[in-house]
Amino acid sequence: MPEITITDAERRRSTTRILDVREDFEVADGMIAGALHIPMGQLQARLFELDPAAPIIAVCRSGNRSARVADALDGAGYTADTMTGGMTAWVAAGLPVHRPGAARTQSASRRTP
């Protein structure tokens, strides 16, 4: 399964489905705007939500779960990459984070506790 950098993910996110496979409590801290959230444990039951013709970038906290998900998706006929470093790297780089239920997307470096 190919790994891509956070820079590549940011560049491709308007043309590629971002799939956040973290748990609900992790996503509450913020996710990539426009990402589809399906926790890894629910993926098999919710595959119908993914378009097999659309490329996918799988994202988790650090890149471990998303690598397993991308491998499984590739094996099921999807085209999937994993984002190296996960949301930890995304936030550390100051890239925009959407908080579910929040009114707007914020830069990770401007978030308040």
Catalytic residues, by residue number, are 60
Q: Tell me how far apart the alpha carbons of residues 71 and 15 are, in angstroms, rounded to a whole number.
A: 20
Apex CA 36: angle with CA 35 and CA 38, to 5°?
135
Count of alpha carbons within 13 angstroms of residue 112, beta-carbon side: 1
